[in-house]
Structure 1
Amino acid sequence: MFEPRLALASLSGQSDAEWARSADEFAGAALLGGIALDGPTREAARELVARDREEFLPDDPVRFVDRQLAALEDADLRAGFNVRTTTLGPLREVAEICAERGALLELNAHCRQDEMCAAGAGESLLRDSDRLREQVATAADAGATVSVKVRAEVPGVDLAELTRVVAEEGGDAIHVDAMDSEGVVAEVAEAAQSAESTAGTDLFVIANNGVRDDETVREYLAYGADAVSVGRPSDDPAVLRRVKGAVSKWFAERPEVRA
């Protein structure tokens, strides 16, 4: 999927090509965005901006994705884009661009902002597995390598079951924001292994939340994650250097796990 197994997690309105390039000596992947692709999610993004949150709101979001990924063609990392949408047309267009550029397409089932959830995107997808299935299948059918960003601690949501849904529809990775329930990564990793045996899908597990040092890296990787991601400190070289060193050390000690 990417090496080293450290990803930069998207931060809405902040994570662009310049942000990714500033950290390419540390990370194996950088997930740009998130970006609202269709009318309902763009309106939600405008409402978020109106209350002082940062959002990318280019005139043409599909073209914006293409330009940003093109700017990273020679970067020493794998680029990706975190996207939010309620309709499939623009999702298919962006998935095709990601496929052409060898980038990851990350579906955002993570954003918990009321405006985005009311539009039918973000965290609302965790409670609507049919629509999540549809989005994963659409992106996968367009040839993209598909990741789904999810969060723990959503009442009534079984992340292990959602992991199997992602695998069944052709997804390639699940990116878990563990919140304050780090052990959920073990449940997701176990479900990912089970999905591989039943659906033939090698589902890659990325663990997120509080990744800062050797201790946090080891905790997530010991739970079975294949990689970790850094969010808010992604512009802090000291944190990224520590995390990269911890990831490299972990896998150097366990060469059989890298396969």
Structure 2
Amino acid sequence: MFEPRLALASLSGESDAQWARAGVPYAGGAFLGGLSLDEPTREAAETMVADRDRDEFLPAAPLEFMREQLDALVDVPIRPGFNVRAVGPGAIRPAARICAERGAILEINAHCRQEEMCAAGAGETLLGHPERLAAQVDAAADEGATVSAKVRAEVPDVDLPALAARLEAAGLDAIHVDAMDSEAVIAEVVDATDAFVIANNGVRDERTTREYLAYGADAVSVGRPSDDPAVLERVSGTVREWFA
């Protein structure tokens, strides 16, 4: 999937090609975005910006923005991905084609828990509607993209290992798990699927990195401190040593 097995996790409205380039000495992958692709998710993002002063990528032409950002990384040794938000599979297909053409990972966002995005039917809401999430995975895989889904643990009535298995059957290649405060869920997901498992949440140092890797994670990702070289150096060193 990528080497070294450290990814930079997308931060809403902040994770662009320049951000990914800065992580090249440490990471093997970088998920840009998140990017709202269709009218419902774009309207939700606009409301989030207006009402709560959040950072969001809201280009007039989101697909062209994807192309520009991914093309800006063709000369650097990092595998990019793009975290995208959509209500249905229709908007996923053209984004998946862009990623497939560039060897990038298309990451479906089933993770965002902002009220506006969930009300639109995207983000975390998809975890409670596995048939809709699986349809997005299937659409992306059908376009030839390497497909990831960003999910979170501790969502009521969501069986994450069972969901991972269902998504793998739909064509999922990787699952990016925000473990919240349930780190051991990583082992359950690993046991349920052959997909590449990326563990996220609280990855800061050797101890946290080793904990996730001991649970069987194939890689870890760093979110908020993804622009902190000291954190990235600690985590990258631990990952390289673990898989050496």
Q: Distance in 2 between matches of 1:89 and 1:152?
A: 27
Aligned twin of 2:25: 25
Please say if residues 62 and 90 of structure 1, whose CA atoms lie closer than 8 Å, have aligned partners that are also in contact: no
Aligned twin of 2:152: 151
Select the residue among 193, 210, 217 that pairs with 1:218: 210
Q: Distance in 2 between matches of 1:160 and 1:89?
A: 26
Amino acid at match of 2:199: A
Aligned twin of 2:236: 244
State the Cα deviation string for residues 144-176 of structure 1 (Å, max 9, x = none): 000000001100000001100111001100000
Calculate the TM-score normalised by the size of structure 1: 0.93
Once the two structures are aligned, what percentage of the paired residues are identical?
A: 68
Q: Distance in 2 between matches of 1:126 and 1:90?
A: 18
Structure 2 portions without partners, runs of 5+: none
Structure 1 SS opposite 2:35: strand
Aligned twin of 2:109: 108
Shift of 1:251: 1.0
Aligned twin of 1:160: 161
Aligned twin of 1:255: none
Structure 1: 4+ residue segments shifted above 3 A: none
Aligned twin of 2:37: 37
Shift of 1:90: 2.4
Aligned twin of 1:7: 7
Q: Distance in 1 between matches of 2:158 and 2:47?
A: 27
Aligned twin of 1:128: 129
Calculate the TM-score normalised by the size of structure 2: 0.99
State the Cα deviation string for residues 192-246 of structure 1 (Å, max 9, x = none): 1xxx4xxxxxx10000000011111110000010000000000000000000000
Number of residue-to-residue matches in the alignment: 243
Amino acid at match of 1:227: A
Shift of 1:116: 0.2
Q: Distance in 2 between matches of 1:250 and 1:42?
A: 41
Structure 1 portions without partners, runs of 5+: 197-202, 253-259
Please say if residues 179 and 186 of structure 2, whose CA atoms lie closer than 8 Å, have aligned partners that are also in contact: yes
Structure 2 SS opposite 1:89: coil
Please say if residues 88 and 132 of structure 2, whose CA atoms lie closer than 8 Å, have aligned partners that are also in contact: no
Q: Distance in 2 between matches of 1:104 and 1:173?
A: 9
Please say if residues 207 and 225 of structure 1, whose CA atoms lie closer than 8 Å, have aligned partners that are also in contact: yes
- CA-based RMSD of the aligned residues comes to 0.6
Q: Distance in 2 between matches of 1:63 and 1:123?
A: 26
Structure 1 SS opposite 2:100: helix
Structure 1 SS opposite 2:90: helix
